[in-house]
Amino acid sequence: MNFDDTVYTPHKEGRMWGYIWQNIDGGDPKWGEHWVNSGAIPYDSLLKRVKGGAGQNYSAWSVAYPVDEPDQKGSLKIHWLVDVTDWATKHCPDKCHQRGGVDNILRDKCLINRVGTSEFHRMAPEEMISELWQEVKVTHKPKELEINNSVIIDSLLTVVNSLLGGARVIACDLCPRFGKTLWSMMVAHFTSTTDVIVASYVYTVWGSYLSQVPQYRLFKDWTLIDMRKSNWMEKYKGSVKSGSKRIWFCPLVKSETTADRYKFLQDLKREKLWVVEEADIATHTAKVNPGLQKAVGDDRVLIESGTHMERAIKPWKYDKYVRVSYFQLIVKQREEN
């Protein structure tokens, strides 16, 4: 969930909140600020503000909530709500009041691709969240990662023990809503990985890493590097200097820079873990797979998919096959709750 944990708790004093929303029927995401008065529930106050800012009659809107409330449908999506009071108090105390303009300061500091002077940005919401969170997280207490489903724990231990025991390629048939992003990062953590390489033909996969990983204390020393961006080498050098570990996004859509990316990652002398996400989409084809397998070499690999696993693993020689069905996941969750 991309909401601050205190979003449903009234504050004793007024506080400054930031939010990212989007009309998912069309339009880029927007970043703005809202002053929540003392005694008000931030979520209710922010929802009213966003609906009003959308310029529509309230009754004309329904809200599409985050993914943990999948049954809600609507055209107004609130991607992120975050308390920025402590950040503003530290960096621009004279702005920390109603209509203070804290959103403009953070926008200019963190967000690129701004359209003129508007609040619109030609950036994916997950990318906006990541860029802003990197700035404001220093004034937030990071979350502790908890796994309360024994099916997820068992699959994690199976994969970790297999990799530590010498296995190299693991086929991971993991159902929707399994939580592959954080699960994969846990695998990396327990196998002393320094570089996670997320390789996928599907760009939205990277959005999950951008929006989820930075929120947890366990992953505070990881730098996210998108190899589509022109500054990826600069970010890499910065991570080496700071001593942080790295999560790379290596898009598998073929381009003139594909060979250079592969060559760099192949030559990277680190403890690498490749996570081939949505592996049933294009990754298995003759146009993509040979170059990918050459770049992987003898590194460890997780071949992940929730559908058409037989297609995903066809070109790979795997050492272990791990499967968690949706039925297993939900039944165990209900038993343990």
Residue 262, in any domain of the structure? yes
In this structure, the answer to whether residues 128 and 256 fall within a common structural domain is no
- Measured CA to CA, the distance from residue 43 to residue 6 in angstroms comes to 9
In this structure, the answer to whether residues 286 and 331 fall within a common structural domain is yes
Residue 144, in any domain of the structure? no
Last residue of a domain, one of 86, 120, 139: 139
Give the Å distances, CA to CA, from 266 to 181, 201, 291, 293, 303.
23, 19, 11, 10, 18
Last residue of a domain, one of 139, 170, 199: 139
Residue 235, class by beta-carbon neighbours within 10 Å (0-12 exposed, 13-18 middle, 19+ buried)? Answer: middle
In this structure, the answer to whether residues 161 and 115 fall within a common structural domain is no
Residues 6+ apart with CB under 8 A from 184: 196, 273, 275, 302, 304
- Residues 214 and 185: beta-carbon distance below 8 Å: no
Count the domains in the chain. Answer: 2
User: pTM value?
Assistant: 0.72
Please give the DSSP secondary-structure letter assigned to residue 213.
Answer: G
One pLDDT digit (tens) per residue for the chain, 337 residues? 455 567 888 888 999 999 888 877 767 788 889 999 999 998 888 888 877 765 543 333 444 444 333 334 557 778 888 899 999 999 999 999 999 999 999 988 877 655 555 555 667 787 788 788 778 876 667 788 888 889 999 999 999 999 999 999 999 999 988 999 999 999 999 999 999 999 999 888 888 888 788 888 899 889 999 998 888 999 999 999 999 999 999 998 877 788 899 999 999 999 999 999 999 998 989 999 999 999 999 999 999 998 899 999 999 999 999 999 988 888 766 776 6
In this structure, the answer to whether residues 32 and 135 fall within a common structural domain is yes
In this structure, the answer to whether residues 73 and 209 fall within a common structural domain is no
In this structure, the answer to whether residues 69 and 188 fall within a common structural domain is no
Residue 10, in any domain of the structure? no
- Residue 90 belongs to domain spanning: 15-139
Structure tokens at 250: 């290596």
Residue 273, in any domain of the structure? yes
In this structure, the answer to whether residues 314 and 226 fall within a common structural domain is yes
In this structure, the answer to whether residues 160 and 306 fall within a common structural domain is yes
